[in-house]
Amino acid sequence: MIYHFRLCTTLILIATLALCWQSKHFFTGVFFFPFTFFPVLIHLIAIADWPSRLAQVALSIGTVGFFLFFAFIYHDAFYGTRDPQGPIAFIFLGLVATPVMLVIWMVACGLEGFSHKRTLSG
């Protein structure tokens, strides 16, 4: 569980610093934090609440998937298109990722219940 928590927090830190690096002012990158990373913050709560190995694997896959999506949007916003309003996409990143993350959370919750039921039965 600690490994997955560290993975998630390390990726959040790297992504936030990347946003701050591209911003004219440091706090502009910090401004995007709650909009961009609110699904990952819910993810951290799920990592703490669902300690089974199967749920942790599902949540780790979700974490890596979210940050791959973040990297795609980051590249597109800063390098792919040279539109000055490209970084506004980070405001909607969390909203766009939430339905996919919701499915991953439901799978992890089901795996946690399955693991818990299996532990109780034998």
pLDDT score for 121: 62
Question: What does the pLDDT read at residue 81?
Answer: 81
Which residue stretches of the chain have pLDDT < 70? 1, 116, 118-122
State the Cα angle at 39 between 42 and 114, rounded to 5°: 55
Task: Tell me the H-state helices in the chain.
Answer: 2-22, 26-31, 33-49, 53-75, 89-121
Residue 51 has what pLDDT? 83
Evaluate the CA torsion angle 105, 41, 61, 47 in order and state its sign.
negative
- Rounded to an integer, what distance in angstroms lies between the CA atom of residue 46 and that of residue 25? 33
pTM, two decimals, is: 0.85
Which of 111, 109, 12, 23 has its CA nearest to residue 64? 12
Domain ranges of the chain: 2-121
CB 8 within 8 A of CB 43: yes
* Residue 113 near residue 55 (C-beta atoms within 8 A): no
**Contact (Cβ atoms closer than 8 angstroms) between residue 88 and residue 94:** no
